[in-house]
Structure 1
Amino acid sequence: MRLYSMPSSGNSYKVRLLLSLLGRDVPTVDVEYQTDALDSAKAEGRLPFGKAPVLELDDGRLLPESNAILFWLGEGTAFVPADPFQRTQMLSWLFWEQNQHEGTIAVRAALLSYPHRRAQATPDRLAALLEAGHANLQIMEDRLSRRDWLVGDAPSLADICLYAYTHSAGDRGGFDMARFPAIAAWLDRIAALPGHRALTA
């Protein structure tokens, strides 16, 4: 297999993190924003949806979308619950992460971090993203104030996918993470998992 990964992206990071937690060593092709490597990967048809991450399987098939890749890699491991209802709960968090969480937490961080996005970082938009992002973080806080993990009694793909952008929400997105002590404890639990790797590792 081969992973086409954008080093600075939380979506790519979540796949690298799961691979590390599983102890799997997969060659990675870095395709950062505004690089020749990204242009080449697009020209070669390696990015079906025009973006990373994409997992190229051993037989050459290409699997895009971060959470779809997580599910592919996670099948048959402890990160996918055996119980059908818990497995579906896990999927609901994966869907919510892409539909709600990423659109506020990741977008605000991107507007503040990437020079080519800064023209879109108007005060009104940043303020709206801050308010909506805090509301999304509160949903996680409410859930994690009653339990160690988002689903069941052990870490699942739900935790992996939401960790990626949440763990940098304060530093990169300017969110007030002091408001969310249960999230802070959850982040520490994930960082303590054997095989954990940092975004920049």
Structure 2
Amino acid sequence: MLKVHGDYRSGNCYKVKLMLHLLGREYQWQAVDILKGETQTEAFLAKNPNGKIPVLELEDGTCLWESNAILNFLADGSEFIPSEPRLRTQMLQWQFFEQYSHEPYVAVARFIQLYLGLPEERRAEYENCHKGGRKAFKVMEQQLQRTPYLVGERYTIADIALYAYTHVAHEGGFDLSGYPAIMTWLDRVASHPRHVGMFD
């Protein structure tokens, strides 16, 4: 059986959990506490030498890491990856956007507030994250005003990648009320019959 090494509160880990549920795949969850240094143990580093979660451990013991790479592996051949090259490239475009223009701001602001309790010494970084996060949300809003999902008419792993931290952005101090298309999209993603919540 597949095994996911992760933290339920992590958006990156939630991507993998949501993908597995959408596909109807069985898996085991192995909890990892990053604040206790559990990603830096010798045993964990043998699974991911980069010392980060999530890690997907396959039945043969092979380990895959980087959440968006795991999404591509799991969804290969499914309805969640477009077969048409242009649409598939747009899907990848949004995944790269998530890693470089969204996650470094939205997820980090959430980590500083939710995990660390917003310490004063990280206040300037937190405020900078808000600037970057608002810019990312503006880009998403523009697209979602035009199409129901990030890649046109279909729910893809691009939506999973960006839903993960966007739907808990308020835990990082973001107010999404000024982005009505994003709010509608969040409801649309959550309405999928096989949807699972972060803590479900």
- TM class by shorter chain equals over 0.9
Q: What is the CA RMSD across the aligned residues, in angstroms?
A: 1.8
Could you tell which deviates more after superposition, 100-109 or 45-54? 45-54
1:130 paired residue number: 130
Q: Distance in 2 between matches of 1:24 and 1:52?
A: 20
Aligned ranges 1:49-88 → 2 under 5 Å: 49-88=50-89
1:95 paired residue number: 96
1:148 paired residue number: 148
**Displacement of 1:199:** 0.9
Q: Distance in 2 between matches of 1:41 and 1:198?
A: 31
Assess if the C-alpha contact under 8 Å between 1:56 and 1:63 holds in 2. yes
1:20 paired residue number: 21
Q: Distance in 2 between matches of 1:177 and 1:42?
A: 40
Quick one: which amino acid aligns to residue 167 of structure 1?
A: H
**Displacement of 1:37:** 5.3
**Displacement of 1:59:** 1.7
Per-residue CA deviations over 1:27-83 (Å, capped at 9, x if unaligned) read: 111102234754557456123310110111122111110000000001010000010
Q: Distance in 2 between matches of 1:132 and 1:33?
A: 25
For the pair 1:5 / 2:2, whether they are aligned, the reply is: no
Q: Distance in 1 between matches of 2:49 and 2:10?
A: 17
Identity score, percent = 41
Say if 1:5 and 1:43 are closer, same or farther in 2 by CA, change over 3 A. closer
For the pair 1:180 / 2:179, whether they are aligned, the reply is: yes
**Secondary structure in 2 matching 1:27:** strand
**Secondary structure in 1 matching 2:162:** helix
Count matched residues.
199
1:160 paired residue number: 160
Where in structure 1 do 4 or more consecutive aligned residues deviate above 6 Å? none
Quick one: which amino acid aligns to residue 6 of structure 2?
A: S
For the pair 1:193 / 2:184, whether they are aligned, the reply is: no
Could you tell which deviates more after superposition, 175-184 or 41-50? 41-50
Quick one: which amino acid aligns to residue 153 of structure 1?
A: E
Assess if the C-alpha contact under 8 Å between 1:111 and 1:120 holds in 2. no
Say if 1:104 and 1:42 are closer, same or farther in 2 by CA, change over 3 A. farther
Structure 2 residues not aligned, in runs of 5+: none
